[in-house]
């Protein structure tokens, strides 16, 4: 019975390893597998008293128990594009192992070893949660990861404070009968399973969200496609009721001539470059999509038409200043823009249709300019 927690942890290690073998680009899954494998090995070493020498057993257990939360935290951080510095990892690992060795070989005190190990493991998890505190504003999956680390770390600290007093000073046999050990086994079984299941759910959610993002994105430019634009703007319309929204239609001038003169590879470079400029100039709440060959749509949140005009003019000038690989240095790629206000009760595509009409007026007027519906404003480079 005492090896049931170890078997459950090992099962989760195998599960994450299998998922990683299917999704090798998600390296954090391998770290999750190693974390569960390490904690499983630690429980086996402690239960079986192998090696039998208590001093050696203490050091091996300390190393395995310290490595497990470090691997878990590193995996969670890696999933979010962060990492724990190697020096910090070494400090946590070395500090726990050395202190536990000292409180066996220099001053034998089992109670202190229990406090140091559990506070250390909790500290590692809580430090990881602190590094990920920005995820409190993330999506639900990100928030789950944050609260998992925070809750698990707090459990190590709280459980030790509540039951650590039952640990004897140097009687190993009595330790395995203490309230601390009973609750530790309970927590290992329940929290281990809960953490494993939660991480499996997170891994599956990550895959689903990635597939959804791939479905809704234009592979060449990385902007939204028509489907992604529709979905993203629907949520924006719900949240932004009563606030001004400007719809911008953008078209690369004489794009067919670019393809004919310099080749389709150069045309792809232009599309990607224009998309990059658009992405760099927009605000966080704005939305950009590639809706056709050389056609883009931008949705500007909380932007009346006159404000949108100024932003788009900055964007137009920036694009005209960029020089693209595969084309002469004196060749300028330009874009024309049309801006329309989204009216109450109007569909997105109706507003885009009106913005398109304004865009074609800008093209007829000479291209490389911005026209805005309702404004007697235009500009040419």
Residues involved in catalysis:
294
Contacts of 260 (CB under 8 A, 6+ apart): none
Contacts of 39 (CB under 8 A, 6+ apart): 9, 64, 65, 68, 192
Contacts of 172 (CB under 8 A, 6+ apart): 54, 110
Can the peptide bond before residue 51 be classed as cis, meaning omega within 30 degrees of 0? yes
Indicate the angle between helix axes 264-281 and 255-262, nearest 10 degrees: 140
Residue 294 DSSP SS3: coil
Length of the chain: 381
Contacts of 75 (CB under 8 A, 6+ apart): 28, 29, 30, 31, 32, 35
Of 107, 106, 105, 109, which is closest to residue 117 (Cα–Cα)?
Answer: 109
Q: Judge contact between 308 and 246, C-beta under 8 A.
A: yes
């Amino acid at each position: 019975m005492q090896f049931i927690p170890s078997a459950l942890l090992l099962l989760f290690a195998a599960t994450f390893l299998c998922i990683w073998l299917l999704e090798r680009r998600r390296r954090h899954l391998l770290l999750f597998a190693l974390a569960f494998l390490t904690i499983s090995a630690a429980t086996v070493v402690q239960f079986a008293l192998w090696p039998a020498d208590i001093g050696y057993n203490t050091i091996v257990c300390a190393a395995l128990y310290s490595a497990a939360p470090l691997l878990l935290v590193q995996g969670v951080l890696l999933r979010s594009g962060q990492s724990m510095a190697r020096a910090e990892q070494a400090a946590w690992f070395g500090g726990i192992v050395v202190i536990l060795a000292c409180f066996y070989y220099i001053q034998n005190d089992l109670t202190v070893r229990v406090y140091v190990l559990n506070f250390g493991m909790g500290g590692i998890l809580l430090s990881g949660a602190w590094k990920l505190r920005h995820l409190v504003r993330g999506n639900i999956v990100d928030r789950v990861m944050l609260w998992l680390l925070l809750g698990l770390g707090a459990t190590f600290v709280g459980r030790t404070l509540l039951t650590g007093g039952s640990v004897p000073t140097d009687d190993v046999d009595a330790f395995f009968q203490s309230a601390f050990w009973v609750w530790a086994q309970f927590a290992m079984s329940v929290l281990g399973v809960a953490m494993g299941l939660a991480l499996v759910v997170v891994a599956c959610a990550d895959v689903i969200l990635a597939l959804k993002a791939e479905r809704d994105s234009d592979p060449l430019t990385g902007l939204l496609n028509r489907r992604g634009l529709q979905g993203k703007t629907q949520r924006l319309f719900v949240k932004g009721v009563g606030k001004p929204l400007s719809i911008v239609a953008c078209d690369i001038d004489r794009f067919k001539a670019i393809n004919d003169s310099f080749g389709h590879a150069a045309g792809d470079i232009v599309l990607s470059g224009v998309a990059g400029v658009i992405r760099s100039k927009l605000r966080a709440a704005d939305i950009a999509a590639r809706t056709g060959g050389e056609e883009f749509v931008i949705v500007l949140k909380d932007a009346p038409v006159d404000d949108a005009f100024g932003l788009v003019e900055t964007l137009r000038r920036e694009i005209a200043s960029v020089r693209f690989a595969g084309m002469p240095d004196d060749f300028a790629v330009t874009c024309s823009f049309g801006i329309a206000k989204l009216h109450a009760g109007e569909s997105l595509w109706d507003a885009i249709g009106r913005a398109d009409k304004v865009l074609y007026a800008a093209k007829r007027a000479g291209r490389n300019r911005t026209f805005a519906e309702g404004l007697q404003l235009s500009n040419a480079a």
